Amino acid sequence: MSIRLKLIIIFLVLIGATMGVVSVWTYSTAKSALIETTLKGLWATAEFREGEIFLFLEKLKTRVIDFSSDGFIRDSLEKINEGGEDVSALTQILNTHLIKNKISLDPDLKFIDIVDLGGRVAASTDASRVGLDQSGKQYFLKKIKDFYIGDIYENRDGSMDQEVSMPLKDRVDPSRTIGYIVNHGKSGILNELLSGNLVIRLGALTQLRGIGQTGETYLVNQDKFMVTDALFVKNAAFRQKVDSYPVRQCLEHNEEVNGTWVGYYGDRVAGASMCLTVGDFRWVLLSEQSERETFDPIRKLKWISIFIGGLVMLWGALAASIIARIISGPLHKLTEISNEISNGKLDVPMEETRRKDEIGVLSRAFERMVVSLRKSAEDVEKRTQELAQSESRVRAIVESTLEGIIVIDEEGIIDSFNPSAERIFGYKAREVTGKNIFFLMPERHSESRDGYVKEYLKPGVKGFLGKPKEFRGMRKDGNTFQLEISANEVYFGPRRMFVASVRDITERLRAEHNLRTLSMAVEQSPAATMITDLEGRIEYVNPEFVKMTGYDLKEAVGKKTSILKSGYMAKKVYEGLWKAITSGQNWQGELYNKKKNGELFWANVSISPIRGREDNITHFVGIEEDISLQKEYEKRLVHEAHFDGLTQLPNRLLAIDRLSQALVRARREKKIVVVMYIDLDQFKMVNDTLGHPVGDDLLVEAARRLVSSVRESDTVARLGGDEFLIILEDLETKNQRQVIILAQNILSLFSVPFVFDNREAFITASIGITVYPDDGDDSTVLLKNADAAMYKVKGEQRNSFLFFTPEMNKKAVERMEMEHYLRHALENREMTIHYQPLVDAVSEKLIGAEALLRWNNPALGAVAPDRFIPLAEETGIIVPLTEWVLETACKEAKKWPAQAHSHPLRLSVNISSRNFKGEDLVKTVMRILKENAFPPDGLELEVTERLLIDDPAKALRIFYELRRKGVRLSIDDFGTGYSALTYLKEFPFHTLKIDRAFVRGIIKEPKDAALAKAIIAISHSLGLKAIGEGVETEEQLQCLRSMGCDWVQGYYFSKPLPADEFRNFASRSS
């Protein structure tokens, strides 16, 4: 087989194998990538549509909950339920209210029904539906207590419908259901959702579209019927059953699928399924695309690959034939020429010598061989002359070279010694010629010296020849030095000689040692080190640089230092850097650099110029240290110092700073700044009742709602506890309405319940508002005034807002002044106790007294209890005051006269809820009783209903412990608070006091009389004594007596008396 044919076959085999492997690999890779991309796209589409559906359902839920809170609807339905002649008119009014004020708010609602407790439509936006029987609906059958969403169903007219319902509660008794409100969504809403037409209306920011011509997204209910339109079947809703693999997996195993299966119309599809659980029914969301459309690009790619492969094979065969002819033709000619040369014909012409390839090289070699043979005779004589000239040149070179040249024979005897060798050793050539080479080496190194030289001199040993070897040499003056010798074997005729090249390497070794020491220091340095040329091109980096940046030595060398630039540093920083180092100065600073992998980091950089022997700058050396962790730590410290750790809002420090800056800008630009001081109402009760974790979640959600209500340029801060601050700046005019609208929006946001772990918490807010420059010109004054306005609205009504007035500032100053005096009232002996007599309602005999605290301050005069007691409660001063009252009252009660029946008078003392915060109340009470020898059953502690609400478990434990000690307990002002009868049943009370508000109207107000009578009856049924307080007239006394009230007190018998006067009163009564 010829070379030409072999080349053609080999070329075609290589091309065919390569094209086959590439085609198979390309087809397989493209198919896998296409399947993966398609399935990912379908999964993303399904996920997106699932989110849209839940967003739509959440919107329906919010709407029906909002409608159910309409008081007009509930009042109208209550009247319709009661019946009467005006039911038709009420129905018409309610229909009109629903049409004008409800259904117009949501274009997606078809109609709204109000269903009574009999299951009939009492009112509707569709008047034809009034009277329809709805008792078979699920929401009615289930007697729902909360929001309920029904499954999609088909109406008689073929349209789809979905009901969202909410029970309507009695406004007086929220536990009683009076009917239902039912929102009916328009048909086709879900079709619009799944086709993407409803995205804008739902407020979505992005929208997925385009899953091919055969792509579609549809819903299947738990009965395996479509509930939305289909691409391949008309009127598919509730008619087309879908029993495909993903539907079965979802409904039977709650498993979502992303793959291929047989679709509802019989073809294989690629798709993704989502399992949706809505209320007590389930849907399956499917996004599908025909498998034929999915793999259509792959089929096209396969035929294109076959066509290209065949075309490449044809071209390959043609190219192989041409190449084979080009190679084999010249080889044949060269074979003929070589045969002629072997026959002695040296003038054969070389036709291929001008070629540039291997054939040309071979031809030119043949040509040179012929020329060489032709000139061989002429060269013999010429070469003899050249040898003589060469010897002369070599001698001149040896004489002038800087290296020492020493020629020795096989015995080590020096034969020649050039001038450089004379300079190195200090000997003249005549002084060493004829002596052994050992003469130039110190004796103490003879062992290593002799072994090495003997190896050199061994006949036929080539391993040591030409290799440099270090020795200790000795100069003529006896000093030793380090030298390097490399020897080569030469022959002068039959005589074997050695030529040794000798170099003094003392300075080189010293420089190498210094360089090695410096190099080790740089290599092992904990700081990244980099050396560049004057253009900033990197010439060296140490291992720490590699570790820090990710660039290894080969990658970094030759590159400019700009590979580390992150693009986040100002241009002037680099300009200043280059200006400093090019002028010969050092530069030090911090740079925000970028690693090889794109990661950004902070580096502390020091760059210095390197100077050469002539004091010119030759290089720059940079030392870097990664300070990213330090920067992050500093950033975290700054953040923690200025932001609240729970809500991530600015804290008080940052808020005051921002307010100060806002005031500076406002002065300069002649604008106004508004400060809103916000306090959450009833937060403490939620925190104590549901726990601190829920309280924290509530604060985070409250912060989120506040941030959502203002502009990005405004500031929302948490001052601490449940207090927040909003700073509105850059306001052009003093538009109070703009601020009012914002305050109303905030109150509206807080009207929506806070839901945590399926538990609802209802929190309102009190807002105090100040305006710069009207209410103050610095941050301290504005904050103080906003705080005063907030406290006023919180004390008067809550869940509202109030603008600051000078009168509030006056009251705030008075409050601060009162607190100051109150804190020193005990030590200044300004407090006294007055005693109000407690009388038997039937016999009118004195049975005891209630100790009442009074305060007379030199500056304030006599301060009313309703002014200083709340302040003492708020500040905690009430705790030492209560302890003082207990101790003082027990001492004074010991001086009271005994009554005729020899039963000691009872002492009643009010206990604040603050006294229950600690664990020492029982110990304190028992200590005071013991120190004053006062009988426990002679003391009665009065508490309010609010104390029972704050922490009932702790209060119950303390009450039972006090009762075991013999102390009597009384609940004060019953009926004015929460009035939970459970507390009367569970807590160990002895007496119950009827609040003076009921006693005051007991004669003229039948309801007050009825309530008083009911309270007395409850007291007796539970074994408690009833006390009526605030009795001022004979009629009130007689009325309470007729109702069975046990004891009474009030101005009818006596006003509260000082200790001495009460003793006289008690003496007269005995």
- Please give the residue that has the higher pLDDT: either 698 or 472: 698
512-522 pLDDT tens trace: 666 666 666 66
Question: In 3D, which of 944, 1056, 949, 941 has the Cα closest to residue 995?
Answer: 944
Mean local confidence (pLDDT), 330-336: 68
Number of domains making up the chain: 6
Structural domain of 942: 821-1069
Two tokens at 678? Answer: 């916000």
Mean local confidence (pLDDT), 533-551: 90
Here the CATH number for the domain that contains residue 903 is: 3.20.20.450
- Residue 46, in any domain of the structure: yes
> Could you say which of 477, 504, 531 is where a domain stops?
504
Which pLDDT value is given to residue 940?
A: 95
- Residue 810, in any domain of the structure: no
Question: In 3D, which of 457, 54, 100, 65 has the Cα closest to residue 276?
Answer: 54
In the predicted structure, residue 152 carries a pLDDT above the cut 90: no
In the predicted structure, residue 902 carries a pLDDT above the cut 60: no
Q: What sign for the dihedral angle of Cα 48, 50, 55, 59?
A: positive
Two tokens at 881? Answer: 């005051």
Same-domain pairing of 623 and 737: no
Q: How far is CA 752 from CA 376, 647, 740, in A?
A: 114, 19, 19
In the predicted structure, residue 188 carries a pLDDT above the cut 80: no
Mean local confidence (pLDDT), 727-745: 82
The least confident of 215-219, 380-384, 727-731 is 380-384
Q: What does residue 226 show for φ and ψ, rounded to 5 degrees?
A: -65, 140
Chain mean pLDDT for the chain:
83
Mean local confidence (pLDDT), 886-892: 95
Q: What is the DSSP letter of 569?
A: S
> Could you say which of 292, 323, 354 is where a domain stops?
323
Same-domain pairing of 964 and 1013: yes
> Could you say which of 602, 633, 664 is where a domain stops?
633
Mean local confidence (pLDDT), 736-744: 84
Mean local confidence (pLDDT), 99-113: 86
Same-domain pairing of 228 and 367: no
Q: What is the four-CA torsion angle of 920, 924, 926, 928, rounded to 10 degrees?
A: 180
Which pLDDT value is given to residue 981?
A: 67
Same-domain pairing of 160 and 19: yes
Question: In 3D, which of 986, 971, 898, 960 has the Cα closest to residue 935?
Answer: 898
How many angstroms separate the CA atoms of 632 and 678, rounded? 33
The least confident of 484-488, 690-694, 945-949 is 945-949
Instruction: Label residue 479 by pLDDT band (50, 70, 90).
Output: confident
Which pLDDT value is given to residue 201?
A: 42
Q: Are 967 and 1003 in contact (CB under 8 A)?
A: no
Q: Are 269 and 291 in contact (CB under 8 A)?
A: yes
- Residue 809, in any domain of the structure: no
Which pLDDT value is given to residue 207?
A: 37
In the predicted structure, residue 669 carries a pLDDT above the cut 50: yes
Task: Return the SS3 of 556.
Answer: helix
Mean local confidence (pLDDT), 497-510: 82
Q: Are 580 and 586 in contact (CB under 8 A)?
A: yes
In the predicted structure, residue 18 carries a pLDDT above the cut 50: yes
Instruction: Looking at mean pLDDT, say which of 40-49, 186-195, 912-921, 934-943 comes out highest.
Output: 934-943
Mean local confidence (pLDDT), 390-413: 75
Which pLDDT value is given to residue 280?
A: 79
Here the CATH number for the domain that contains residue 72 is: 3.30.450.20
Which pLDDT value is given to residue 808?
A: 65
Residue given tokens 């049975």 in the structure block: 847
In the predicted structure, residue 176 carries a pLDDT above the cut 60: yes
DSSP for 248-300 reads HHHHHH----EEEEE-TTSSEEEEEEEEEEETTEEEEEEEEEEHHHHHHHHHH
Q: What sign for the dihedral angle of Cα 429, 432, 434, 440?
A: negative
Q: Are 747 and 702 in contact (CB under 8 A)?
A: no
According to DSSP, the residues that pair with 712 across neighbouring strands are none
Same-domain pairing of 122 and 202: yes
Which pLDDT value is given to residue 208?
A: 40
Q: How far is CA 72 from CA 130, 160, 1046, in A?
A: 18, 30, 45
Task: Return the SS3 of 689.
Answer: helix
Phi-psi region of 741 (alpha: psi -120 to 50; beta: other; left: phi over 0): alpha
Cis peptide leading into 773, omega within 30 of 0? yes
595-623 pLDDT tens trace: 999 999 999 999 999 887 778 888 999 98
Instruction: Label residue 416 by pLDDT band (50, 70, 90).
Output: confident
Burial class from Cβ neighbours inside 10 Å (0-12, 13-18, 19+) for residue 235 reads exposed
- Please give the residue that has the higher pLDDT: either 199 or 30: 30
Same-domain pairing of 318 and 359: no
Which pLDDT value is given to residue 200?
A: 38
Instruction: Label residue 351 by pLDDT band (50, 70, 90).
Output: low
From start to end of 1-50, where are the E strands? Answer: none
How many angstroms separate the CA atoms of 857 and 831, rounded? 8
Mean local confidence (pLDDT), 846-865: 94
Q: Which residues contact residue 138 at a Cβ distance below 8 angstroms, ignoring those fewer than 6 apart?
A: 148, 150
Instruction: Label residue 774 by pLDDT band (50, 70, 90).
Output: confident
Burial class from Cβ neighbours inside 10 Å (0-12, 13-18, 19+) for residue 477 reads exposed
Q: In whole angstroms, what separates CA 1057 from the centre of its chain?
A: 64
In the predicted structure, residue 338 carries a pLDDT above the cut 70: no
Instruction: Label residue 398 by pLDDT band (50, 70, 90).
Output: low
Task: Let me know how long the chain is.
Answer: 1070
Tell me the residue type at 860: L
Q: Please list the helix, strand and coil fractions of the chain in percent, rounded to the nearest 5, in that order.
A: 50, 25, 30
Same-domain pairing of 623 and 769: no
Number of neighbouring beta carbons within 10 Å of residue 1069:
18
Which pLDDT value is given to residue 451?
A: 61
Here the CATH number for the domain that contains residue 700 is: 3.30.70.270
Same-domain pairing of 674 and 780: yes
Q: Are 907 and 939 in contact (CB under 8 A)?
A: yes
1008-1018 pLDDT tens trace: 899 999 999 99
Same-domain pairing of 934 and 1031: yes
- Start-to-end CA span in the chain (Å): 149
- Residue 651, in any domain of the structure: yes
Same-domain pairing of 559 and 453: no
In the predicted structure, residue 978 carries a pLDDT above the cut 50: no
Q: Which residues contact residue 1013 at a Cβ distance below 8 angstroms, ignoring those fewer than 6 apart?
A: 1043
The percentage of residues in the chain with a pLDDT greater than 90, rounded to a whole number, is 33
- Residue 75, in any domain of the structure: yes
Same-domain pairing of 517 and 383: no
In the predicted structure, residue 199 carries a pLDDT above the cut 60: no
Which pLDDT value is given to residue 376?
A: 60
Q: In whole angstroms, what separates CA 388 from the centre of its chain?
A: 90
- The predicted model scores a pTM of 0.40
545-601 pLDDT tens trace: 998 999 998 888 999 999 999 898 999 999 999 999 999 899 999 999 999 999 999
- Residue 192, in any domain of the structure: yes
Mean local confidence (pLDDT), 309-321: 74
Helices (H), 184-235: 189-195
Same-domain pairing of 413 and 531: no
- Residue 1024, in any domain of the structure: yes
Tell me the residue type at 533: D
Which pLDDT value is given to residue 296?
A: 78
- Residue 236, in any domain of the structure: yes
